[in-house]
Structure 1
Amino acid sequence: MKSVSAPYVLREGVPSAADYLRLRAAAGLSARTPEGATVGLAATWHAVRVFRGEALVGMGRVIGDGGCFFQIVDICVTPEQQGRGLGKAIIDALVRELERRAPRDAYVSLIADGDARCTAGRTPAREACRQRHSEQRPSRSRQPCCLSRDEILRPPNTDASAGSEPRLDQPIPASARRGRRRRPR
Structure 2
Amino acid sequence: MSRQNKCGGFLGGWARGAVRMKQMIDDLLIFTRTRLGDLLPVGFTAQNMGRICSDAVDEVRASYPDARIDLRLDGDLRGRWDGGRIGQLIVNLLTNAVRYGSGQIVVEASARDGWVMVAVANEGNPIPERGLPTLFDPLTRATMPDRRGMAAGIGLGLYICRCIASAHQGTISVVSSAAGPRFTVAIPALPSSPA
With structure 2 as the length reference, what TM-score do the two structures score?
Answer: 0.31
Larger Rg: 2
With structure 1 as the length reference, what TM-score do the two structures score?
Answer: 0.32
Q: Larger helix proportion, structure 1 or 2?
A: 2
